[in-house]
Amino acid sequence: MKIAVIPGDGIGPEVVGQAIVVLEAVAQKFGHRFEFQEALLGGAALDVKGVPLPDETMEICLKSDAVLLGAVGGPKWDNLPGHLRPEAGLLGIRKGLNLFANLRPAKVFPQLKSNSTLKEEALGEGIDILVVRELTGDIYFGEKGRAKIPGGEKAWDTAVYTTYEVERVAHLAFRIARGRRRKVTSVDKANVLESSRLWREVVSKVGEQYNDVELNLMYVDNAAMQLIKNPHQFDVILTTNMFGDILSDEAAMLTGSLGMLPSASLGEGRLGLYEPVHGSAPDIAGQDKANPIATILSAAMMLRYSFYLEEEAQAVENAVSKVLDQGYRTSDIATPGAKIVGTKEMGSLIAQN
Ligand code: NAI
Ligand code: MG
């Protein structure tokens, strides 16, 4: 199994380094062989190659079974023009790999309840939601423009979805729900938007092929409210690009721990891109302070969604849980009485477990 490794900038190399330590422990325990190949992206690529996404990086990714990414960006490259900024490399790689679904789990670990923005009674046994966001269509990619009108200007963006685009992400969400609590909530604004009416029709039709999965349909304004009011009702939330952008951030903040949030972006085949939700955290880079858990949990998602190694994925997730049970914390998730450890020690503890 070939893994392209893109450490990136800031704390990227530190957290990716620990995810590799954990993947190597998995390889040893379960008898797998992972081949790692490093590639440059973002500021690291600008410094060496003068561009944020070198062709060579794209080639390495396309030849791999999965891509593990740290984070890109930092003050050093902030004043470059848009197409040369580190973020341009990130958008380029997501597009180049044809990834149409973004998966963002929001899970409140029982050991970290006190970090959540929710009250104890809303949290209950903890929360475990997976937002599946469509990533290549909708209002972000439809026709847009500006025109002068008397007294000023007008500007427009167009939300567009095709049957095919909705079908492929819906199938993915239903398949994923089968490996979880078998419940999909599809979120749209079908009372107002024509693209949402098509979304709703197609998702309902696809849902008929998965009668072992419960399907609920919800308007986005209600979903934003229900996430705060009664987050336990959700398992998989399937939604459009724009609504997913907003709801995935909202769901993530229910956990209150940026350093714990993984993500996956998937396409047609097995090739996926796995990265923590957080950025390159230049304020703590190079100090062995960064929490590597978001990246380690991203590696667990890689085992699950690109390599179909469910047992191994769970072994990693359980190891994270055990280390939290043992009272170890990086400083960003410190709870009263915790044993504070650095990036490297956290990685080794999870690998041992
Ligand atoms: P950030 O996520 O890098 O940091 C926000 C705050 O959270 C900082 O105080 C940081 O120290 C802390 N933090 C983040 N990850 C942490 C971790 N693993 N452990 C402990 N503390 C952690 O977001 P910010 O500050 O807005 O952006 C910094 C740089 O990262 C910018 O150049 C930005 O463009 C880039 N960025 C890159 C992303 C990516 O590569 N996907 C995503 C978001 C930002
Ligand atoms: Mg966003």
Q: For 235-248, how does the pLDDT look when each residue is reduced to its tens digit (9 = 90+)?
A: 999 999 999 999 99
Q: Are residues 189 and 247 in the same domain?
A: yes
* Site to substitute for ligand 1 among 278, 293, 330, 350, most atoms within 8 A of C-beta: 278
Choosing from 203, 238, 255, the residue where a domain stops is 255
**Helix, strand or coil for residue 305?**
helix
Residue 341 clears pLDDT 90, i.e. is over it: yes
Residue type, position 348, single letter: S
Q: For 143-172, how does the pLDDT look when each residue is reduced to its tens digit (9 = 90+)?
A: 999 999 999 999 999 999 999 999 999 999
Q: For 167-214, how does the pLDDT look when each residue is reduced to its tens digit (9 = 90+)?
A: 999 999 999 999 999 999 999 999 999 999 999 999 999 999 999 999
CA of 285 to the centre of ligand 1 (A): 10
The interaxial angle of helices 343-352 and 293-305, nearest 10 deg, is 40
Binding-site residues for NAD(+) sit at: 74-87, 279-291
Q: For 87-144, how does the pLDDT look when each residue is reduced to its tens digit (9 = 90+)?
A: 889 888 988 998 999 999 999 888 887 777 776 666 666 789 999 999 999 998 889 9
Highest average pLDDT, of 53-57, 79-83, 268-272, comes from: 53-57
Q: Are residues 131 and 81 in the same domain?
A: no
**pLDDT for res 123:** 67
Q: Are residues 122 and 86 in the same domain?
A: no
Percent of the chain whose predicted confidence (pLDDT) is above 90? 85
Q: Are residues 147 and 214 in the same domain?
A: yes
CA angle 282, 11, 253 (to 5 degrees): 80
Residue 110 in domain: no
Mean pLDDT taken over the chain: 94
**pLDDT for res 122:** 66
The label of the residue with tokens 């062995």 reads 288
Strand partners, 131: 104, 237
Cα–Cα distance measured from residue 116 to residue 151, given in angstroms and rounded to the nearest whole number: 48
State in Å, rounded, how far the first CA of the chain is from the last one: 23
Cα–Cα distance measured from residue 293 to residue 298, given in angstroms and rounded to the nearest whole number: 8
Residue 54 clears pLDDT 80, i.e. is over it: yes
The label of the residue with tokens 């880079």 reads 285
Mean pLDDT of 286-303: 98
Q: Are residues 83 and 134 in the same domain?
A: no
Residue 221 clears pLDDT 90, i.e. is over it: yes
* Minimum mean pLDDT range among 78-87, 158-167, 310-319, 342-351: 78-87
Residue 39 clears pLDDT 90, i.e. is over it: yes
Residue 105 in domain: no
| Domain span at 46 | 1-100+259-353
| Residues annotated as part of the active site | 140, 189, 221, 245, 249
The label of the residue with tokens 């973002």 reads 42
Residue 57 clears pLDDT 90, i.e. is over it: yes
Ligand nearest to the CA of 346: 1
Measured from the Cα of 331, ligand 1's closest atom is: 20
Structural domains counted in the chain:
2
Residue 106 in domain: no
Cα–Cα distance measured from residue 273 to residue 113, given in angstroms and rounded to the nearest whole number: 29
Residues 296 and 18: beta-carbon distance below 8 Å: yes
Choosing from 237, 255, 273, the residue where a domain stops is 255
**Helix, strand or coil for residue 263?**
strand
Ligand nearest to the CA of 79: 1
Q: Are residues 124 and 199 in the same domain?
A: yes
Residues 195 and 239: beta-carbon distance below 8 Å: no
List, in order, residues 6 or more apart from 172 with CB less than 8 Å away: 101, 132, 266
Phi-psi region of 138 (alpha: psi -120 to 50; beta: other; left: phi over 0): left
Q: Are residues 242 and 347 in the same domain?
A: no
Q: Are residues 127 and 220 in the same domain?
A: yes
CA angle 142, 88, 75 (to 5 degrees): 135
Residues 32 and 302: beta-carbon distance below 8 Å: no
Percent of the chain whose predicted confidence (pLDDT) is above 70? 97
Q: Are residues 227 and 263 in the same domain?
A: no
**pLDDT for res 112:** 84
Sheet of 35-38: strands edge to edge?
Answer: 35-38, 2-8, 66-71, 272-276, 262-266, 101-107, 128-134, 236-239, 183-188, 214-219
E strand or H helix at 102:
strand 101-107
Residue 183 in domain: yes
Q: For 253-286, how does the pLDDT look when each residue is reduced to its tens digit (9 = 90+)?
A: 888 788 999 999 999 889 999 999 999 999 999 9
Q: Are residues 89 and 160 in the same domain?
A: no
Residues 202 and 167: beta-carbon distance below 8 Å: yes
Choosing from 255, 285, 319, the residue where a domain stops is 255
Q: Are residues 177 and 277 in the same domain?
A: no
Measured from the Cα of 284, ligand 1's closest atom is: 11
Q: Are residues 26 and 84 in the same domain?
A: yes
**How far from the centroid of its chain's Cα atoms is residue 191's Cα?**
29
pTM here is 0.93
In the DSSP assignment, the letter for residue 113 is G
For 9, list phi and psi in degrees, rounded to 5: -115, 170
**pLDDT for res 141:** 87
Q: Length of the chain in residues, anyone? A: 353
- What torsion do the CA atoms of 258, 261, 266, 270 make, to the nearest 10 degrees? 140
CATH number at residue 296: 3.40.718.10
Residue 142 in domain: yes
Q: How confident is the model at residue 52 (pLDDT cuts 50, 70, 90)?
A: very high
Ligand 1 site: residues with CB under 6 angstroms? 11, 15, 71-74, 87, 90, 258-259, 275, 278-284, 290-291, 294, 332
